[in-house]
Structure 1
């Protein structure tokens, strides 16, 4: 991945650089050092200064930075942030796609003891305005393509033209930071002494109202990254492709995990399946994270083919189907199925494959791998509980049948909702964080999500899991994607309504015969699903509405079926 690029003069570290913060005060015990993910960068630059750290290739102005050069740029950013008047605990907003700017910010903002506030680039201007106002951000780092989202912002705005070259306003900002630091280096920067101080402020999707700000800490970010290195098997020979947006839950802590493991990172500004396959074939990619919708695009791409070397795909965002897991394996892509939320630093459970599963059929093994599994190494045990009238939590039987809510606590659970004590208290009732995800627990203590609490379909008094229906629909040879929501029914109260995207073969087979496909699909589900769970309505659509992180927007599908019902009244 050689690139003909020369970093700016200010990006070149001085000789005999010391990768260490200002010495800790004597009040800090010798046997304690506050956990801080910035320490991962200092260690990487000290051990592998000349190793390729960050590659930004598929753009007009490609760049590539070694750990030594990148550490200097991040140091410059930290000083520039401090020079801009940002104090410890202040929020620094970042609006950017996957590019060096947002990768820098995950370290530079924390090195300045400020709080990184990454904002979804696909939000509307009013939504961004709300987050900037609610977060109280005093500084905004923004990519040139999204600078319009900061128009009228009260905070100071620094624009990056994503060039890495002199003349770029972001480069000028970094150069100013280098001068302000007066070559004191890392030892001129104070380490955050309180590992439970606010480190990041990430906003939820807000599909049912205003988005909530999730506060995470230095300690939690550190331990989340440690877990992801372990669970994803990252190391100094790994090459990670940035498909997952870094603005989404701070990239599930992978901006820090990749540096802890000395991994080379390759950034993509946009999710292009063409570019993804090009990197798979030519850039030595070993790891990536992506939601199921992106994985579906990868396996169904015209150029998809079995790979001749190991490639690990970390899957989260929504539950993958057994069919998807099986198709990835056929390409030689090892799926690591994880589950989590913004409130848990991204993933906090993983499906741990067992050797005895290899004796099962491909479909049998895939169904087991589709479960959400057990908690991460740095997380407490994930419980499946029923909320009791007295406020306590009661575990469901480990029978794989009894439905309860996933509840978690521990090192990688958020600190709080920003400036929202009522929402925080509600979420933490019973001493655990209630996720809103409904699941069962099996005798081997694995958990398996059945649905979001708002997505359960109650038909004639029976609970139908939309996720279970979707899993079965995805097994059909002509189905590319499926989403199921409840639709009002005069007799049963609710019945499932399925939205189907056909794959290439399905489009050819059922062109102009969607009604016939509906009847065919319902017949194929008999004996596989109980009668009340078989979709009453099937809608063949070109695509499904999704969030910027690939989650299907079921609220929009529910709106569609509701409007359809009203039109018939």
Structure 2
């Protein structure tokens, strides 16, 4: 067999772009994108993407150039996931919730040559460009006007600041445009910036091969069948919607676009379109359970959650409405979810509270990941599989990023020579081989020499019937070094009296070791969140630090 080897016939580059052409052939007359009163079919979406790709190339954008997008979940945002890389450029979705200064930094760092701008974010991008240094390259701008019945002001008066509009690019583009596959499957396809909640945003670069792998991984792991109806509650700018824009083309799904998240609207769209699948961070689950229209669903809806460990109490509430929750774990650096809480049939016979506790764990590696482990940060050895010994989560597999743009030092810190990617997350490995995230390494509280998981305390707080959201951070303590400080927002729906701080502490004391009970409870109307809905622990940590020592006496 020594004479058998790779050849051009069996080594064409893996890329997700071919999914669109197949969708147009197989599902051409089936709905692809629905937005308000507009519905496209897969043959139309394919044609529109080819025309946009053709026009991007005609603007002088070359292979390897970065093309940025500042837009919510609208049809153009979906189409650009295909059109930009079809032109040979690299897609860079920018978070619409960022401020102008940060957007300016990202545009300069990426050296973006072209920016597609939704009309509601025109002023944001123009302000960002005004903050660029005089000698910095200024990208071309294309305006995405809303012709689909969406809300917002008419943007025709601002066209003079842009080289074109999105629909004009479609009108002028070639529907027969022949896009060239990447010369190598390792060529970049996307550039995503991390949220930067604890440090400066880093530019994560993914290749065609890695995205192809994560798509196959995601569809199989979530058991997504042909022609699902997918509601876009997850922002597509967030790690490319965990790669589901490309994945929906692979299975001929219907993409229900949603400009902004709104609980009543979500429930209405679920009923109107027969939604089968949706994604979101745990905060989305909390918002759905708090919605005034949260009546039980007529049919089950699969919802995939990730981004932070979902408290078991929240999982219990959302599933009581008819949502079937799947829980996974991934990072911007992994292109999607690479660990999932694979469900075992016999768990269905367990009490609801126990099922929720098990589902709150991150789980086992998905098929697209080669290996995941929890290791001692100093020795690199695997920790005991006892469900309590903390260590850093490490992994390796085909969907991991190429690295951080222009940052070899940070790349080498996490993608080490021993062949592992170090996530910076702290977790435990249970005896059954299931991973559970306990904290970010910077969020572990060390009280009297004990490593204390803030997530574990938060999970208990979420079981209190009056608690809506909860975060636990370290507060300085002259005696213990650090003690837990809880920041809590209440449901305020009249279902239960608002507790006092002492009542919250007593509630925790009945469920936790005394050293883990918060010594401070601070009530807030709303907890600070990042641009992707994650609670900003570092902001609350600063507040706790500014409060000074929690006590001058020993632990009770």
Structure 2 partner of 1:210: 200
For residues 147-546 of structure 1, what are the structure 2 equivalents within 5 Å? 147-151=122-126, 152=129, 154-163=138-147, 169-178=165-174, 185-186=176-177, 188-388=178-378, 393-429=380-416, 430-505=418-493, 509-510=497-498, 517-546=500-529
The SS at the match of 2:14 is: coil
Structure 2 residue matching 1:234: 3-state secondary structure:
coil
The answer for the alignment partner of 1:80 in structure 2 is 55
Structure 1 residues 366 and 195: CA distance shift in structure 2, 3 A: same
Matched residues in 1 for 2:257 and 2:225: separation? Answer: 18
Q: 2-side partners of 1:271 and 1:160: how far apart?
A: 20
Shift in CA distance, 567/529, structure 1 to aligned 2, threshold 3 Å: closer
| Residue number among 524, 532, 544 corresponding to 1:549 in the alignment | 532
Normalising to structure 2: TM-score of the pair?
Answer: 0.91
Q: CA separation in 2, counterparts of 1:564 and 1:397?
A: 37
Shift of 1:150: 2.5
> How far 1:208 sits from its partner (Å)?
2.5
Runs of 4+ in structure 1 deviating by more than 4 angstroms, as ranges, are 164-168, 505-508, 566-569
Does 2:101 match 1:126?
yes
1:33: Cα distance to partner?
Answer: 2.3
- Alpha-carbon distance in 2 for matches of 1:508, 1:383: 42
Q: Aligned equivalents of 1:567 and 1:459: distance in 2?
A: 12
SS of the equivalent of 1:215 reads strand
**Change beyond 3 A, Cα 1:509–1:420:** same
3-state SS of the aligned residue for 1:107? helix
- For 1:15, the equivalent position in structure 2 comes to none
Q: Assess if the C-alpha contact under 8 Å between 2:363 and 2:434 holds in 1.
A: yes
Q: Distance in 2 between matches of 1:270 and 1:190?
A: 34
- What is the DSSP-based 3-state SS (H/G/I as helix, E as strand, rest coil) of the residue aligned with 1:281? helix
Q: Which residue of 1 aligns with 2:116?
A: 141
Partners of 1:317 and 1:550 within 8 A in 2? no
How far off is 1:423 after superposition?
Answer: 0.6
Shift of 1:506: 6.3
For 2:387 and 2:148, the matched residues in 1 are separated by 53
Give the superposition deviation at 1:200: 0.3
CA contact (8 A) 2:392 2:427 kept: yes
Write out per-residue CA displacement over residues 424-479 of structure 1, whole angstroms, 9 at most, x where no aligned residue. Answer: 01111232111111001011110001111000111111111000000011111111
Separation in structure 2 between the aligned mates of residue 508 and residue 472 of structure 1, nearest angstrom: 17
**Separation in 1, partners of 2:326, 2:495:** 31
CA distance in 2, matches of 1:137, 1:92: 6
How far apart, in 1, do the equivalents of 2:355 and 2:54 lie?
52
CA distance in 2, matches of 1:313, 1:502: 25
Moved more, 530-539 or 233-242: 233-242
> Once the 2 structures are TM-superposed, how far is the Cα of residue 86 of structure 1 from its aligned partner?
1.2
Q: How many Å separate the matches in 2 of 1:564 and 1:525? A: 22
Q: Which residue of 2 aligns with 1:35?
A: 14
Structure-2 residue corresponding to 1:11: none
Shift in Å, 1:317: 1.3
Indicate conservation of the 8 Å contact 1:374/1:381, yes or no.
no
In structure 1, C-alpha distance between the alignment counterparts of 2:549 and 2:119, rounded to whole Å: 44
Whole-angstrom distance in 2 between the partners of 1:369 and 1:164: 39
SS state of the match for residue 387, structure 1? coil
Unmatched 5+ stretches in structure 2 = 1-5, 131-137, 150-154, 157-163
- Structure 2 contact 428–438 (Cα < 8 Å) conserved: yes
> In the aligned structure 2, how far is the partner of 1:246 from the partner of 1:400?
34
Distance 1:46 1:507 in 2: 53
Match of 1:69, SS state, is helix
Q: CA deviation at 1:308?
A: 2.4
Q: Is the 8 A contact 2:520 2:550 kept in 1?
A: no
1:19 aligned partner:
none
8 Å Cα contact 1:478-1:506 kept in structure 2: no
Contact kept in structure 2, 1:234 and 1:263, CA below 8 Å: no
Alpha-carbon separation, structure 2, partners of 1:559 and 1:243? 31
Contact map agreement 1:164 1:171 (CA 8 A) in 2: no
Equivalent pairs counted in the alignment come to: 525
- Give the match for residue 12 of structure 1: none
1:164–1:193 Cα change, 3 Å: farther
2:142 & 2:223 partners in 1: Cα distance? 36
Once the two structures are TM-superposed, the CA of residue 505 in structure 1 deviates from its matched residue by: 4.8
Q: Distance in 2 between matches of 1:198 and 1:158?
A: 23
Deviations 1:199-224 (A, max 9, x none): 10000011223210000010111111
What is the aligned partner in structure 2 of residue 110 from structure 1? 85
- Contact 2:263 2:293 (8 Å CA) reproduced: no
Confirm whether residue 67 of structure 1 aligns to residue 54 of structure 2: no
The 3-state SS of whatever aligns with 2:96 is coil
